[in-house]
């Protein structure tokens, strides 16, 4: 696959572009088969599959103007919810610096990024997938505006997914509507470790409106970051077994997504959630991100399923919050149960009702 490095993408300063702006809204995603463990430059040890969400998104606007004096340093002002944010600013400036071989024109610009999330800050809902995918889309839009190099939508998305991956692995899957796969698998020709591929054409309609209620058990910052968690997989004695397990679950999940087998989908989702946290518990050093209320909710989900025979399943991210997955047709029954039974397990009673959706939109 192309590395996308392109030294020719340099602006002609004798014909400077007018100052302008590009903007994208990009959603978060929830992995069903999890990416946990990486190699090389943000390459996954196993394929992963996710649903692209709707309600949890980042809006990002990138304003640009040509620098008055040439200076190769990235010039960035970063505003999060209308306020300067130094920690994000230095992280994003370092990321922009790292992608200058792909977008050399970034060195010629004064850039202002303004971002906001649809979900309240400090809810423990991760924003790296939505924000890094929004940023990658803005960079590709900028390239196309200046050089008309990305007229083909599929090629535009592929490059955006590749660039998003460099910012945050799971972000590469947010580029595509409804569902996406990232990582090489014999079950899908065209799949790649370097970017995600869309699954929407292979999806049974039941998954296009699938619900995901995010039950926020704790809004506190995680004790161990995802970055550290990925790194700990290197010494994990179960690593190779885990990667093989994820590969075969990917094949089975793709079949379930095509055929509309909600039960197989749900079983894989739960097995993957527990495997992810089991890997953390047997890392060296081991750690535990599940809270008592997380475990209580998992038991409630299984009891509710047994009692009602409704296809409601859980999954977990690398944190204590629980994602409830179920077909949209059961939304009323599930809502009643969430309100009456599960809400008390959530911090400040907070949960976010989300669902699979159409993917990013240019603003």
Binding site for ligand PMV (CB under 6 A): 31, 34-36, 48, 128, 168-170, 226, 230, 276, 317-318
Residue 356 DSSP one-character state: B
Task: Pick between residue 118 and residue 226 the one whose CB is nearest to ligand PMV.
Answer: 226
CB of 226 to ligand PMV, least distance (A): 4
CB of 184 to ligand PMV, least distance (A): 15
Task: Pick between residue 35 and residue 176 the one whose CB is nearest to ligand PMV.
Answer: 35
CB of 162 to ligand PMV, least distance (A): 14
CB of 278 to ligand PMV, least distance (A): 13
Task: Pick between residue 195 and residue 318 the one whose CB is nearest to ligand PMV.
Answer: 318
Please say whether the dihedral angle defined by the alpha carbons of residues 235, 241, 243 and 249, taken in this order, is positive or negative: negative
Task: Pick between residue 130 and residue 226 the one whose CB is nearest to ligand PMV.
Answer: 226
CB of 126 to ligand PMV, least distance (A): 7
CB of 58 to ligand PMV, least distance (A): 14
CB of 15 to ligand PMV, least distance (A): 39
**Peptide bond before residue 227 is cis, with ω within 30 degrees of 0:** no
H helix intervals, 192-238: 226-232
Task: Pick between residue 23 and residue 164 the one whose CB is nearest to ligand PMV.
Answer: 164
CB of 32 to ligand PMV, least distance (A): 9
Task: Pick between residue 56 and residue 276 the one whose CB is nearest to ligand PMV.
Answer: 276
Contact present, 174 and 167 (Cβ < 8 Å):
no
Contact present, 4 and 102 (Cβ < 8 Å):
yes
Task: Pick between residue 211 and residue 323 the one whose CB is nearest to ligand PMV.
Answer: 323
Give Dmax over CA atoms of the chain in angstroms: 72
CB of 49 to ligand PMV, least distance (A): 9
Task: Pick between residue 102 and residue 318 the one whose CB is nearest to ligand PMV.
Answer: 318
Task: Pick between residue 121 and residue 227 the one whose CB is nearest to ligand PMV.
Answer: 227
């Amino acid at each position: 696959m192309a590395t996308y490095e392109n030294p020719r993408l340099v602006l002609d300063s004798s014909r400077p572009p007018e100052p302008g702006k590009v903007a994208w809204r990009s959603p978060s995603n929830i992995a069903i088969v999890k990416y946990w463990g990486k190699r090389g430059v943000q390459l996954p040890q196993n394929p992963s599959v996710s649903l692209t969400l709707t309600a949890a998104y980042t809006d990002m606007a990138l304003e640009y103007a040509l620098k008055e004096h040439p200076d190769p340093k990235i010039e960035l002002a970063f505003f999060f919810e209308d306020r300067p944010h130094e920690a994000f600013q230095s992280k994003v400036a370092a990321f922009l610096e790292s992608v200058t071989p792909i977008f050399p024109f970034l060195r010629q610009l004064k850039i202002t990024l303004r971002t906001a999330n649809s979900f309240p800050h400090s809810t423990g809902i991760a924003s790296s997938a939505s924000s890094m995918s929004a940023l990658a889309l803005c960079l590709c839009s900028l390239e196309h505006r200046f050089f008309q190099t990305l007229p083909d939508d599929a090629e535009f998305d592929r490059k955006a997914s590749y660039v998003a991956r460099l910012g945050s692995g799971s972000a590469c899957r947010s580029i595509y509507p409804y569902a996406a796969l990232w990582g090489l698998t014999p079950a899908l020709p065209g799949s790649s470790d370097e970017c995600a591929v869309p699954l929407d054409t292979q999806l049974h309609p039941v998954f296009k409106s699938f619900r995901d209620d995010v039950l926020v058990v704790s809004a506190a910052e995680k004790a161990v970051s995802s970055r550290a968690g990925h790194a700990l997989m290197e010494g994990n004695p179960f690593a190779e077994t885990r990667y093989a397990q994820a590969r075969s679950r990917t094949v089975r999940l793709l079949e379930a997504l095509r055929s509309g087998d909600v039960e197989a989908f749900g079983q894989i989702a739960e097995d993957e959630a527990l495997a992810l946290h089991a890997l953390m518990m047997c890392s060296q050093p081991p750690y535990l991100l599940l809270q008592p209320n997380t475990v209580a909710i998992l038991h409630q989900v299984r009891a509710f399923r047994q009692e009602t025979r409704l296809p409601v399943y859980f999954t977990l991210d690398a944190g204590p919050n629980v994602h409830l997955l179920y077909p949209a047709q059961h939304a009323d029954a599930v809502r009643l149960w969430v309100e009456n039974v599960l809400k008390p397990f959530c911090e400040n009673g907070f949960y976010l009702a989300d669902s699979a959706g159409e993917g990013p939109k240019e603003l």
